[in-house]
Chains A and B, each alone.
Chain A
Amino acid sequence: MKRYDLIIIGAGPSGLSAAIEAAKRGMKVIVFDENARPGGQLFKQIHKFFGSKEHKAKIRGFVIGRQLLGEAEKAGVEVRLSATVIGLYPDKEVVVREILEPEEGTAGETSAKEAVFHYKGDAIIVATGASENMVTFDGWTLPGVMGAGAAQTLMNLHGVRPGRKVLMLGSGNVGLVVSFQLLQAGCEVVALVDAAPRIGGYGVHAAKVARTGVPFYLSHTIKKAEGTDHVTGVTIAQVDSRFQFIEGTEKHFDVDTICVAVGLSPMSQLLKMAGCEMDNSGKGGGQIPVVDESGATSVPGIYAVGDVAGIEEASSAMIEGRMAGIRVAEYLGFDDKAGADTAFDQNEKALEGLRQGMFAPGNRGKKIEKTEEGIPVSENLLTHGFVADDEIERYPGVTHKAGVHPVMECTQNIPCNPCQDACPKHCISIGSNITSLPVVLKDSACIDCGMCVSSCPGQAIFLVNEDAGPGKATVTLPYEFLPLPEEGDEGYGLGRDGSRVCDAKVVRVRSSGAFDHTALVTIEVPAEYAMKARFFVKA
């Protein structure tokens, strides 16, 4: 049996972060992960993260993953892959199934030799993450019905589209983000469906899907997946307030893939097995361990961080991991209390920053009527995925000025502020409260550099020139699809709802390293569509 100061189960964002903090303080740390690659779900996250600088905002998830791996290596963390922890015992012993080096002459054999090994740690951090929830409907076992995470894995890790025509069930952030990723991979998303009456995820995530023309069906769910050997179609129908189907509201779509994104459950079985006190109330997304702010469970020396301790975002999981790593080092005498307290408090503050706004853990399931600024939340955004033309003007980021100026269609209080730092002319202000809606400062002049457009993780910022020649306006929009439009391309301007609202011509296309793969496409539209056209399709 091998001994380590600290054994971490799971090499995702929280596990790696904990490992880094502990190893930096001189601990001998090993991280086990059952996957062939480290990083957990981070390498499937190709969107820019929300938050502020300290939360690695506007950096794409997979890039954060690479940074974490580099940091872990530098700190001397040992990461053991394809190593599945199959048991955790109260005396801090873990049993791991590992793959052995193939013996001489057995190369080419499918099943590599496996064996079971025992390890003992002075402390254990469980960072096993979560698994996807499912709902059942007729035909849900047919090939072609899959978790949204499966689609993400196929596209973003393996470069294979899950199908050609996809229906997404679930309007939480996972459903919204994966829908956008499906579009980026070249799939057609025929509809985004949710039984709930309101969209669960960030409005900006919904808006960037809606403006490409994907219809949202709230208060609808899947009645049946059709097909004999695999999915060939799907029927959805409207549900009433008791989630019962309403007769005669059925709609059919021809699809080959149905993605399900209806939430996550913590994978907490190892903690329960180790005898940790569990909370089965359902808060935190399922059965979770009872933990203190450092992730310590009821069993001394066993900690839990990340989604396994309650479903949240990768950004908060990384901070939770660091906090536990710091406290474990103190617990085992690798850091003094003063040093640990300083580092811990700094992280705790960063975590509090992320847990604010309309989507804070305390607001889960609540309907928020007004922003912190007292502005009514767009009802259309919550029910159709886009802010209606007659609602958009009431937000502080939407102003009218002569010349090119930013229009920030950021309408919900979420903890995010990269736009404020992105503008070299300080045109944009969020202020010290990270969840405030961005405002355009009147006395500063936009130089049309596009940094705000590319920095916005919600793709909610546009550069508009309402008077770009007689009867003309230009709109610069973020564009993350291929093929990239070219200067001179003629086509249509799409409204926030994804419908064709006007003719449009591409007058400029910018892509640069500073934009990090968010291209800036400038279209010329009739002047009256300056505040309406928000996407472009080639004729």
Chain B
Amino acid sequence: MNKHLLSIHDVSADDIVRILDTAESFREVGTRVIKKVPALRGRTVVNLFYENSTRTRISFELAAKRLSADVINFTTSGTSVAKGESLKDTALTLQAMGADAVVIRHSSSGAPLTLTKWVRGSVLNAGDGTHEHPTQALLDLYTMRDRVGRLEGLRVAIIGDVLHSRVARSLSFALVKMGADVTLVGPPTLIPPDAASWGVAVSYDVEEVLPKLDVCYLLRVQRERQRQQYFPSVREYARLFGLTRDRVGLLPEGSMIMHPGPMNRGVEIDSDVADLPQAVMEEQVTNGIAIRMSLLYLLLGGRAEEVGADA
């Protein structure tokens, strides 16, 4: 496997299978009374979050702690970053402290890649701008495989603001890599113009797509996009693309509803629909810890060639 996880392009289909299989063991650890193993004792993981994301941060934090690694949370408010420190100087500081892995969330696409120039440890992308969010995609793949038993030929629609969604990009790339059948659905203004080159289908008609799905994956609609005039109103979006109580009946028996969270109940998904048994958002969260444990283990469980090399 690559030393870093910046994008789904960093992992092969074989790597993905290994990551998901290893996560299987870590999910078992999560069911124990003592949910902790000593696999990464003495390693240091830094959570470097330039954007607020409580869910992803605590998921990584719990993952690292359950592996017995030491975790430092470096958030932007109230730190040197708020005092104007550059990404480079923050990175050099973390490097000097001997971080074995840096988990970074940043509003600028490409910030994790830039970070790899300055730190010797592994860099894990926890979401960068409108680029990628690979750990979310992997936990989603795990959840789908766990429920359905396979990824190949799985029919998945990703519905919503695909254009601005790093989740949609990572998930599409990962699903296509594993041989799934992906359709992007949304208003034409929110479908990326280069979608054809992703190896996916595109549709603007949610009701036509729903009856042919194994997985209905909803994206969060960001209200500021309406102010930027990508769609006329939130109500119109909900009426045309929302997974309403009426539309959920179009989904085949046994299909799953997924959402990366946080949800806008009443916009992309009706509140009742979000509480149906086929809506697996809580499983996604639980599986997210196992996937992040798997990634940290696979990236940091080998030889610590870099640690303290400059001491």
Do A and B associate with each other? Answer: no
